[in-house]
Structures are given as structure tokens and as C-alpha cells.
């Protein structure tokens, strides 16, 4: 966005504008985001996950809650997200606290997934050591036999998290590395203060 364009005062609205534009250029991956978590002592970890919900409440992704990221979020309920859309020369950084989604939300999203993905949520001990690939395939086959139809309950260890933003940064590539950086920080009254950063 050119520096002279009108400033959007609601960061969620600005996010939706940029995401809509990103889908036009990256139909396969526009909702891919880096999720960074940390242990209580500050050891960081980052990985790519998919954004599955975004509104004024926050940004939602789903996972095995017993995975590494699930354990880190249980111990340190803060996270950072990063979206990078190279065709548009844009990044969005989001930082905030994290809370679990409701069971109703998790059930609804789980039910929308392909059958094999739902079975995979049962078969995979995500982030734990796997002796050989064949073991995962055996486990998947076992759950296919256990749940032969479409009625596959959501595993108790599979759910979602919502990142509730305290800070957004919208980064727009500009010539000569004189990039435009706009920061939204949540104020005490729940509104947003807006500022710029040097590139």
C-alpha cells in the first residue's frame, strides 16, 4: 500500500483487505503462516501452520494439543504469527496471548475435514518419535477399520487455539528498502494506537 493511501484504523479490517488480495495471487498458500511459540524459559520454536479462522476475536489454527506447540502453548500462552506474501511484497506480524477454541468450534472444523485427515488425527502422535513410517500407516489402517464410515469423533487431544492480538505490524515493501511499517498496539480501553516504524 502506498504510504499516501488512507490509513485503515481497524487492524482486523486491514488484515482482511490484505488477505483478500493475497488469495488472488496465492490461491494455494495465502493462509499459510509461521507460528512461533516458546517454552517458559524462552526457548523458541517456529513452524508453518494454516489459518482456519480470522475475525475480531482473533486468529485460529488447529493441532494436536499434545504436540510440541500444544505443550508450549499450555505452558506459555503467548504466540507470534507471521504472514509473508512475496508477490505483493507484504508481511503481517501478529503477537498476542492464546486461548483454546470452544469444543463447538473444534467439532465443527474437525467435521469439515477430509475423512483421512480426521483419521490421521487419531493415528498421529504428533511431534513424538516415529520408529518407522510403516508404524504410522499401520495405525491409520487400524483407525480406518475402527471407524469405517463418516462418523469419526474428534479425538480428545485435537483442538484449536485462538491468538488474540495485542500487536499488529503491517509491512509493505518499498523501493530502495525504504519499507512502510505500520504498527497497531492494543490500548487499555480495547482500542488501538497506531504508529510507524523506521524501515
Catalytic residue annotation: 177
- How far is the C-alpha of 53 from the C-alpha of 15, rounded, in Å? 12
Residue 10 phi, psi dihedral angles, 5° rounding: -100, 115
Can you say whether the dihedral through the CA atoms of 46, 50, 53, 54 is positive or negative?
positive
* Inter-residue contact 96 to 58 (CB < 8 Å): yes
Which of 67, 35, 43 lies closest to 162 in space, CA to CA?
Answer: 35
DSSP label of 113: S
Amino acid at each position: 500500500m502506498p504510504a499516501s493511501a488512507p490509513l485503515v484504523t481497524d487492524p482486523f479490517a486491514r488484515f482482511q483487505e490484505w488477505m483478500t488480495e493475497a488469495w488472488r495471487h496465492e490461491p494455494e498458500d495465502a493462509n499459510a503462516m509461521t507460528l512461533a511459540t516458546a517454552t517458559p524459559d524462552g526457548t523458541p520454536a517456529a513452524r508453518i501452520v494454516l489459518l482456519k479462522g480470522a475475525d475480531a476475536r482473533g486468529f485460529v489454527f488447529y493441532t494436536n494439543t499434545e504436540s510440541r506447540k500444544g505443550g508450549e502453548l499450555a505452558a506459555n500462552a503467548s504466540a507470534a504469527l507471521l504472514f509473508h506474501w512475496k508477490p505483493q511484497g507484504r508481511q503481517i506480524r501478529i503477537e498476542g496471548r492464546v486461548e483454546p477454541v470452544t469444543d463447538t468450534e473444534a467439532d465443527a472444523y474437525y467435521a469439515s475435514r477430509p475423512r483421512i485427515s480426521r483419521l490421521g488425527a487419531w493415528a498421529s502422535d504428533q511431534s513424538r518419535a516415529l520408529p518407522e513410517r510403516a508404524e504410522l500407516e499401520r495405525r491409520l489402517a487400524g483407525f480406518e477399520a475402527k471407524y469405517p464410515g463418516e462418523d469419526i469423533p474428534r479425538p480428545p487431544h485435537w483442538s484449536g487455539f485462538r491468538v488474540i492480538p495485542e500487536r499488529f505490524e503491517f509491512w509493505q515493501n518499498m523501493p530502495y528498502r525504504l519499507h512502510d511499517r505500520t504498527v497497531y498496539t492494543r490500548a487499555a480501553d480495547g482500542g488501538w494506537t497506531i504508529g510507524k516504524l523506521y524501515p
